[in-house]
A and B are shown apart, each in its own frame.
Chain A
Amino acid sequence: MSDKTEYTIEDVQREAEKHQKSKEQSELMQLIIFKLAGEEYGLSIDQIKEVVLTPRIARMPQTPSYIKGVTNIRGNIIAIMDLEQKFGLGEGLIESAKQDYTLVVENADFKIGILVKEVPNTLTIEVDDIDKASTLIQYSTLDASCLMGVVNVGDRMIILIDMIKLIESEGVKTSYT
């Protein structure tokens, strides 16, 4: 459990290959780690398209406050979301700060941007290490279906979320009545 630390991308790839060889049966998972209100959150790398500097955002009236608006990333128009607000953690990010980053989450149906303060990093874990204990979910403010579990890496605790499920299951409540 405690033999995992942070890796650079090259390290991750090398490690991933090593792990693949040594532990053929244990499945590996690459995560993108970012911080929300001091806690570490992880998303499966498959769900992330890219990380960009947050472009100018056009506000969108009559949407929940965690929807920061829409922006133009390489000609694609995507919605930008603040997960701190969505999960009710802290004050939310100040969008004017130019060093903010946007994680672009993508699946076949939609793309959405998530605001984060620091450059996210990557981490490789073993799928078996994900603790899916249901008690965790009970105390969580997250919807149970989008909380994949918790991974303990050394003294770090990373909350794994499934962004796609988060958007799909709950949706964004808009003003249309």
Chain B
Amino acid sequence: MAKEEEYKEMFLAEAEESYEELNRLFTELEKNNQSRSAIDAIFRITHTLKGNAMGMGFDAIAELSHVMEDIFNEVKLRRMTLDSTLFQSLFRANDILGDLIQSVKTEEKVRYKGIRTKLQVALRKAKAYYEAQHESTVVKEDAVANQTGSTEHTEDEVKEGDSCEWIPPNELDDEEGEEEGDDEIKGHKIILSDMVQVPVRKLDELLNIVGELIIEKDTLIAQWERERGSNSDLARLHRITSDLQYSVMDVRLVQVGFLFNKFHRVLRDAAVIENKKVDLVLEGTESEIDRNVLKTMSDSLVHLVRNSVGHGIEPSEERLKLGKSERGTVTLRARNEKDTVYIEISDDGYGVDVDKIKAKAIKKGLIPKEYASIISRAEVLLCLFEPGFSNAEVVTEISGRGVGLDVVRMAVESIGGKISVETELGKGTTFTLGLPSSMAVKAALLFQLAQQEYAIALAYTEAVISMPKAEIHKINTGLISTYLGKTISIVFLQDLFDMKSMKEIEGKGSLYKQFDAIEGNPNLDIVIVSYNHRLVGLVVDKLMQQKEIVEKKLPAPIDNVALFSGVTILGTGRMCLVLDIVSILSHLFREKRIGANIATLG
């Protein structure tokens, strides 16, 4: 399968690099066998190589790097000293390691057992020697006396002792009858990898430039169309820039598995702290996502996994009582769907008691009391993501710090993603993150308001409709209408734009100034946006086309305006602000009066 081939390719690239790096480090270490940085680096590299090789099923590489790792663990702990004989073996081992890595490609047989055993024996002897030294320092004193005469075994002295009392190589050979015959030093081959490693910073720059190019291309095409009335002349330019853009985006994609695999450790640590038995299951690790999206989300995922272990999974005894398997399971699942990558974190634990959450939300004032009876389950669960809403004491008895799901939500929303939660009491909880697979370019809907263009990310656009004014009704402080049989809030965007701050939403009549100003019964262009089951129709002056935009951050000091998330430059060279739907909706729905409107959606 192509995926496996790609894995193999990546493994080989990394392994070849490790091998070259090891060669360099051994050479460095041979000159100065006290170099801690080199020792640590070798330990780290062999450790990683072992792990990767095991994962790929290349047992020979794994075994050989394992014993090398063990040796350097001892060296690191100053329980074993490097001398020239050992270096001979290590260089030889590294050469064979290189051959083994090559053999993955060529499928040649490489004999490695001899050198592995040799290193194992050296390791065993060193260990035995070290233990003997430490068990009976007094008895051994005579043997060591000739070095420093000290009875105190400081680390350095032990090392000196080691190097002097190193087992001579011939002894080794005697013991190891099965020594490879072809021990002559082969010519060292230089290998160039088929992969190039590129710092992400360079990719970011590249993508930025491509973004600029797309804007320039749009400008050019728009101008061309105005002057010549045809755009087919530039079709090639259009295609090439678009290909370039997708190629660059593709380069930035990494497999979710690279992040997921790090969670074995995260989960284990969390389980140890909580004293629970939990297994991690990974699914869909081959899904691809932009590296920066993954990086932005990694802390949040750690948080959610710890959360699942801490608050989701029950202790073993309790699980057994409940008739569940002794060990809990946390599943990390990823899947691609068009331009979105869904990552799910689910556990088979307690589940969330929606009624308890509701009671707490009412107590905290997040849900107005009057609407408690009609509010939907999904609405209640959204309270989990409100700042300061720690569900710890409600859901489980385990004391914990504030869960901080609001922080996770902010991280998700900062990159234009969505988070939701599904739960069943007694069965478990699933958090779902819908993340953009690329952050660079997003599809957006353009519209006009007061002679100026604005954009809404298509991800939040539910529908565009045209509706006569008569179908919109005033209630309380807001406006409502019916869309596909559902009651939705209607907001004239101009009303929001006319406000000095979002606080004015509370002002009486602030949301129907425009409505009152309209005479007759004209058809109004409405963009229906949605976020977290909340639908709002935004009235605009004129709908325009759908377009791929390169969103740029707003410049300081106006970078935290509630209405906008960013800005883009249109083909005409004009600026186009991008609406921050998440922020706008959360401001609108923070008001209890509008809360009444959503409650009726249920």
Closest to A59 in B: B452
Bound complex: CA A58 to CA B563 (Å):
14
Closest to A65 in B: B500
Bound complex: CA A57 to CA B564 (Å):
16
Q: Which of B164-172, B322-330, B573-581 makes up part of the contact surface?
A: B573-581
Bound complex: CA A109 to CA B554 (Å):
13
Most buried by A among B215, B500, B573: B500
Closest to A171 in B: B557
Question: Residue A77 contacts which of B452, B496, B501, B554 (CB distance < 8 angstroms)?
Answer: B554
Chain A positions 24-67 with a Cβ under 8 Å from a chain B Cβ: 56-63, 67
* 7 nearest A-B residue pairs (beta carbon): A175-B501, A61-B497, A58-B575, A110-B556, A172-B557, A176-B562, A79-B558
B90 at interface by CB-CB < 8 Å: no
Given contacts A58-B567, A111-B555, A175-B502, contact A72 B575 (CB under 8 A): yes
Chain A positions 127-177 with a Cβ under 8 Å from a chain B Cβ: 167, 171-172, 174-177
B435 to chain A, nearest CB (A): 24
Closest to A56 in B: B574
B424 at interface by CB-CB < 8 Å: no
Bound complex: CA A60 to CA B215 (Å):
21
User: Within 8 Å CB of B452, what residues of A?
Assistant: 58-59
B462 at interface by CB-CB < 8 Å: no
Bound complex: CA A71 to CA B452 (Å):
13
Chain A positions 91-142 with a Cβ under 8 Å from a chain B Cβ: 109-112
Bound complex: CA A155 to CA B575 (Å):
43
Contact status B496-A176, CB under 8 Å: no
Bound complex: CA A71 to CA B558 (Å):
12
Assuming A112-B556, A177-B562, what are 6 further A-B pairs, CB within 8 angstroms? A59-B452, A77-B554, A171-B557, A175-B499, A175-B503, A175-B562
User: Within 8 Å CB of B563, what residues of A?
Assistant: 61-62, 175
User: Within 8 Å CB of A63, what residues of B?
Assistant: 558, 561
A90 at interface by CB-CB < 8 Å: no
Given contacts A61-B498, A175-B562, contact A72 B556 (CB under 8 A): no
Contact status A77-B556, CB under 8 Å: no
A92 to chain B, nearest CB (A): 16
Report B188-220 CB contacts with A as 1/0, cut-off 8 Å.
000000000000000000000000100100000
User: Within 8 Å CB of B497, what residues of A?
Assistant: 61-62
A74 to chain B, nearest CB (A): 11
Contact status A175-B557, CB under 8 Å: no
B569 at interface by CB-CB < 8 Å: yes
Contact status B567-A109, CB under 8 Å: no
B560 at interface by CB-CB < 8 Å: yes
Where the two chains meet, the residues of A that have a C-beta atom closer than 8 Å to any C-beta of B are 56-63, 67, 69-72, 75, 77-79, 109-112, 167, 171-172, 174-177
A71 to chain B, nearest CB (A): 6
Contact status B502-A77, CB under 8 Å: no
Closest to B211 in A: A75
Closest to B494 in A: A61
B215 to chain A, nearest CB (A): 8
- The main secondary structure of chain A at its interface with chain B is loop
Bound complex: CA A121 to CA B402 (Å):
57
Number of A-B contacts (CB under 8 A): 95
A–B complex contacts, Cβ < 8 Å, 28 sampled? A56-B574, A58-B567, A58-B575, A58-B577, A59-B452, A61-B497, A62-B496, A62-B497, A62-B501, A62-B502, A62-B561, A70-B558, A72-B573, A77-B552, A77-B554, A77-B567, A79-B556, A79-B558, A110-B555, A110-B556, A111-B555, A112-B555, A171-B557, A174-B558, A175-B502, A175-B503, A175-B561, A176-B560
Contact status A177-B501, CB under 8 Å: yes
Contact status B573-A177, CB under 8 Å: no
Contact status A79-B557, CB under 8 Å: yes
User: Within 8 Å CB of A79, what residues of B?
Assistant: 554-558
Contact status B573-A175, CB under 8 Å: no
Most buried by B among A59, A71, A176: A176
Given contacts A70-B567, A70-B575, A77-B569, contact A174 B555 (CB under 8 A): no
User: Within 8 Å CB of A112, what residues of B?
Assistant: 555-557
Most buried by A among B452, B502, B503, B555: B555
Contact status B500-A70, CB under 8 Å: no
Given contacts A62-B497, A72-B575, A77-B575, contact A177 B502 (CB under 8 A): yes
User: Within 8 Å CB of A171, what residues of B?
Assistant: 557
User: Within 8 Å CB of A172, what residues of B?
Assistant: 557-558
Most buried by A among B499, B501, B558, B574: B558
B589 to chain A, nearest CB (A): 14
Contact status B502-A58, CB under 8 Å: no
Contact status A109-B556, CB under 8 Å: yes
Contact status B562-A58, CB under 8 Å: no
A174 to chain B, nearest CB (A): 5
Report B568-591 CB contacts with A as 1/0, cut-off 8 Å.
010001111100000100000000
Bound complex: CA A110 to CA B561 (Å):
16
Given contacts A175-B561, A175-B563, A176-B562, contact A60 B577 (CB under 8 A): yes
Chain B positions 383-400 with a Cβ under 8 Å from a chain A Cβ: none
User: Within 8 Å CB of A62, what residues of B?
Assistant: 496-497, 499-502, 561-563
User: Within 8 Å CB of A110, what residues of B?
Assistant: 555-557
B162 to chain A, nearest CB (A): 53
Closest to A175 in B: B501
Chain B positions 489-516 with a Cβ under 8 Å from a chain A Cβ: 496-503
Chain B positions 423-476 with a Cβ under 8 Å from a chain A Cβ: 452
Most buried by A among B569, B575, B583: B575
B560 to chain A, nearest CB (A): 5
Bound complex: CA A56 to CA B453 (Å):
13
Bound complex: CA A112 to CA B556 (Å):
8
Contact status B560-A70, CB under 8 Å: no
